[in-house]
Amino acid sequence: MSVSEMFAALQGALGQDQDIREEIRKVVQALEQTAREILTLLQGVHQGPGFQHIPKKCQKAREHFGTVRTQMESLKTKFPADQYYRFHEHWRFVLQRLVFLAAFLVYLESETLVTREAVAEILGIEAERERGFHLDIEDYLSGVLTLASELARLAVNSVTAGDYSRPLRISTFINELDSGFRLLNLKNDSLRKRYDGLKYDVKKIEEVVYDLSIRGLNKEATAGAGEEK
């Protein structure tokens, strides 16, 4: 084979690779648009009247995740099944964003932490690497850390909306989350940096709870929660 033939073959391989990346990019753009729509919908809870419409917003978000599953099915067909990590960088950011949105949705529904398996089911992908297109553990953890920041914001806005018990529940949840992350030996630089930001979310929520305590509103919140039970 001549040098020109060798490079012609290499160009053909490069062209095929570029075609794959372009097809992936198109689907990822569609996923990003759907993620923005879900984010806009769920962040409506931060507004005063939003607390009254959480169930309706969650139901609509579930419908949008149906679109996500369809788009994920399309993404799976755009590259060889055994080359997940070769192209992973193309969808890593949007996948982490979708994990956060799924986690936020489940928290609003039940005030619990969604499992990696449950997120994978919501997104229409696998939880285990051996089964194909899957939810990487680090992507799951990154999404959960974004949830913590969102809940810190929700705690502040809850007080503004006159919901004094929600920050107390968020504080308990975030502290449990922080305790869970402390059990992990994180060596990924990006994930470790994200985790370092969790302490600021914990501090922000603690300040909200402290402020409620100083103003005597935590007792009112506790009493209200008891009456609800």
Residue numbers belonging to the annotated binding site: 150
The strand pairing partners of 134, in sequence order, are 126
3-state class (DSSP) for residue 134: strand
Residue 96: φ, ψ to 5°? -65, -40
Binding site per annotation, positions for Mg(2+): 150
Alpha-carbon distances of 13 from 25, 85, 92, 178, rounded to whole Å:
18, 18, 24, 47
- Output the CA torsion 196→199→205→210 (10° steps): -160
